[in-house]
């Protein structure tokens, strides 16, 4: 029933997601890639499904085989409501992907998701974390992309 849950999430079939959970589906089942239902819902912006999975005690800090978490996916894609829910559910704000070491803050900044950057800073994401490839922080990365507003936010957070 666990793979069925991921399929129901991917199809955005909320009644089936609820039924599967009520009948014992493992909300933390990891597919061969390490993806969980929560990661899939977070990556594809399925806000209602994310809420259901969090309420069902899905592990908000599970990592796929690349080290990505639901928060990393949602922040990268710009899903503000999902990021907010994951922060409230105590997602690890500073989790780093294994290969490159990018965090949710870095990815939100690189992709110009200003509201998410603000949320992560306000939630106390560590602005000094460096990636594993070049030893760069979110600020260093953002400067190369020229987003003045996000650069200013990161500078202010670093100065605290």
User: What's the CATH number where 29 sits?
Assistant: 1.25.40.20
* Residue span of the structural domain in which 22 resides: 1-68
36 lies in some domain: yes
Q: How many domains does the chain have?
A: 2
In a domain, 86, yes or no: no
| Residue 75 included in any domain | no
Residue 38 lies in a domain: yes
Residue 80 covered by a domain: no
Average pLDDT value for residue range 64-78:
96
Beta-carbon contacts of residue 139 (< 8 Å; ≥ 6 apart): 109, 127, 151, 154, 155, 158
Please, what is the end-to-end C-alpha distance for the chain in angstroms? 48
Length of the chain (residues): 160
pTM: 0.94
| pLDDT of 159 higher than 60 | no
Is 74 within a domain? no
User: Which class for 29: exposed (0-12), middle (13-18), buried (19 or more C-beta within 10 A)?
Assistant: middle
Give yes or no: residues 49 and 101 share one domain.
Answer: no
pLDDT at 44: 95
- Determine what percent of the chain is predicted with pLDDT higher than 70: 98
* Whether residues 57 and 117 fall in one domain: no
> Which two structure tokens, joined as six digits, stand for 83?
């990021």
pLDDT (mean) for 126-155: 91
In a domain, 84, yes or no: no
Q: Dump pLDDT digits (tens) for 38-60.
A: 999 999 999 999 999 999 999 99
Output the DSSP codes for 60-127: TT---TT---HHHHHHHHT-HHHHHHHHHTT--TT---TTT---HHHHHHHTT-HHHHHHHHHTT--T
| Cβ count within 10 A of residue 155 | 13
Given a cut of 80, whether residue 74 has pLDDT beyond it is yes
Pair (105, 151) in one structural domain: yes
């Amino acid at each position: 029933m666990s793979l069925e849950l991921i399929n129901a999430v991917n199809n955005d079939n909320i009644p089936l997601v609820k039924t599967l959970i009520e009948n014992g589906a493992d909300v933390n089942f990891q597919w061969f890639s390490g993806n969980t239902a929560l990661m899939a819902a977070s990556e594809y912006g399925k806000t209602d499904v994310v809420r259901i999975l969090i309420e069902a005690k899905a592990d908000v800090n599970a990592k796929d085989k690349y080290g990505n978490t639901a928060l990393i996916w949602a922040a990268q894609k710009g899903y503000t409501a999902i990021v907010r829910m994951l922060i409230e559910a105590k997602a690890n704000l500073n989790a780093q992907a294994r290969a490159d070491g990018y965090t949710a803050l870095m990815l939100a900044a690189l992709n110009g998701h200003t509201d998410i950057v603000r949320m992560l800073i306000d939630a106390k994401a560590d602005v000094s974390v460096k990636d594993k490839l070049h030893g760069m922080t979110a600020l260093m990365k953002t400067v190369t992309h020229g987003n003045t507003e996000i650069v200013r936010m990161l500078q202010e957070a670093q100065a605290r």
